[in-house]
Amino acid sequence: MGSTLSQLVNHQVRLASRPVGMATAENWRFGTEPVAEPADGAVLVKTLVLSLDPAMRGWLNEGKSYIPPVGIGEVMRAGGVGRVIASKNPDFAPGDVVSGLLGVQEYCQAAVGVPGGRLEKIDLKVGTPAQWLNVFGMPGMTAYFGLMDIGQPKAGETLVVSGAAGAVGQTVGQLAKIKGCRVVGIAGGAAKCDWVVKELGFDACIDYKGGSVREGLKAHCPKGIDIYFDNVGGDILDHALAKLAPKARIVICGAISQYNNTAPMQGPKNYMSLLVNRARMEGMVVFDYAARFPQAIAELAGYLKDGRMKSKEDIVDGGVAAFPQTLNKLFAGENFGKLVLRVAADD
């Protein structure tokens, strides 16, 4: 085993400098290092697929957030799925498939049991590696707990979700349909809007790039919005605020329209609608629900199995070298479904 590992080279992407606005090639540095035997208690994981997330842009900024920024010179943080290829930990064996923070690199030495070194074994009978980064991974858990705990859907209510064709949005809308809501998506472009209506069964979808969100909400939410699941912030949040129903709930999940701003972030203008409608706006961070992920995964797996739910992943080939340009697809709306970077074939 030792001689085989020593022949491997680990290609990595490190943060070279902090971006201003959209990240560019000069913000990243490609490097290699030899692959070493795992230390005592650790495992060595070969990365199969990496999750590319809007939150990554926030991790590049200096300053306080819900998680520390990636340091200059560090391997870029990323969730991923991989296969254990060597283990000095009794809980993991070579061949196990795991998910965790593997980083943008081909091999990860995971020090299991220390902060940041958490690895979960996953079952490929439940879903593919890419689905474990989507509906059974961080976006799916965000959708589930954001909707169920903060949104608290009731049958007959109207839910609006922005970023509707994306990773979080697709699961929010489908789950809300299963819970009996009328579901209206907001997405960029006719192809995405058609897909969420025809394939996922949303009641309507507003193309914010091709028409007026205000007019769309007026047409499709005649009784107002009971739940607005916000993935994008900015003007779209303001249009949703203007259409709230009494006792509405707004789930502040993300604000992707603001992540590359060089000017200060745009806050909501129409917030007095919260007062008028006795409404509530609440932020959520998915990691707070980690103890309940198994319950959510079991429920979502049931819906995928019985055909009530679908998942769409946008898998990009190209390995870690393709990371910088692939990440930026998220901010141009060029991903269609959960954006996944394939790093290696599972052989």
The number of residues that bind ligand NAP (CB under 6 A) is: 32
- Rounded to 10°, the helix 293-305/167-178 angle is 70
Least Å from the CB of residue 244 to ligand NAP: 20
From the list 21-29, 76-84, 118-126, 327-335, the region that binds ligand NAP by CB under 6 A is: 327-335
d(CA 98, CA 14): 23
Least Å from the CB of residue 285 to ligand NAP: 4
Least Å from the CB of residue 5 to ligand NAP: 34
C-alpha dist (Å) from residue 146 to 33, 142, 161, 319: 40, 6, 11, 32
Place of tokens 């957030």: 65
Q: Is 251 in the site for ligand NAP (CB under 6 A)?
A: no
Least Å from the CB of residue 321 to ligand NAP: 22
Taken in order 313, 318, 321, 326, the sign of the CA dihedral is: negative
Q: Is 253 in the site for ligand NAP (CB under 6 A)?
A: yes
Task: Report how far apart the first and last C-alpha atoms of the chain are (Å, whole number).
Answer: 17
Site string for ligand NAP, 151-190 (x = CB under 6 A): ------------x-xxxxx-----------------xxx-
Least Å from the CB of residue 258 to ligand NAP: 8
Which among 205, 204, 147 has a CA at the least distance from the CA of 178?
Answer: 147
Q: Is 330 in the site for ligand NAP (CB under 6 A)?
A: yes
Site for ligand NAP in 121-150 (CB under 6 A): 138-139, 142
Please count the other Cβ atoms lying within 10 Å of the Cβ belonging to residue 12: 21
Least Å from the CB of residue 25 to ligand NAP: 20
Q: Which one of residues 89, 99, 257, 311 is an interface residue with ligand NAP (CB under 6 A)?
A: 257
Nearer Cβ to ligand NAP, position 277 or 328?
328
Q: Is 192 in the site for ligand NAP (CB under 6 A)?
A: yes
Nearer Cβ to ligand NAP, position 255 or 341?
255
Q: Is 217 in the site for ligand NAP (CB under 6 A)?
A: no
DSSP-based three-state secondary structure for 242: coil
Nearer Cβ to ligand NAP, position 270 or 328?
328
Rg (alpha carbons) of the chain, rounded to whole number: 21
53-72: string of b/e by CB count within 10 Å (b at 16+)? bbbbbbbbeeeeeeeebbee
Residue 132 C-alpha from the chain's centroid = 11
Least Å from the CB of residue 112 to ligand NAP: 24
Least Å from the CB of residue 9 to ligand NAP: 31
Nearer Cβ to ligand NAP, position 81 or 112?
81
DSSP-based three-state secondary structure for 340: strand
Contact yes or no for 242/209 (Cβ under 8 A): no
Nearer Cβ to ligand NAP, position 28 or 144?
144
Contact yes or no for 181/158 (Cβ under 8 A): yes
Query: Cβ contacts of residue 307 below 8 Å, gap of 6+?
Result: none
Least Å from the CB of residue 61 to ligand NAP: 13
CA angle 143/123/165 to nearest 5° reads 30
Q: Is 47 in the site for ligand NAP (CB under 6 A)?
A: no
Mode of pairing for the β-strands spanning 97-101 and 119-121: antiparallel
Judged by the rule CB under 6 A, the positions of this chain that interact with ligand NAP are 53-55, 138-139, 142, 163, 165-169, 187-189, 192, 231-232, 253-257, 284-286, 330-331, 333, 335, 338-339
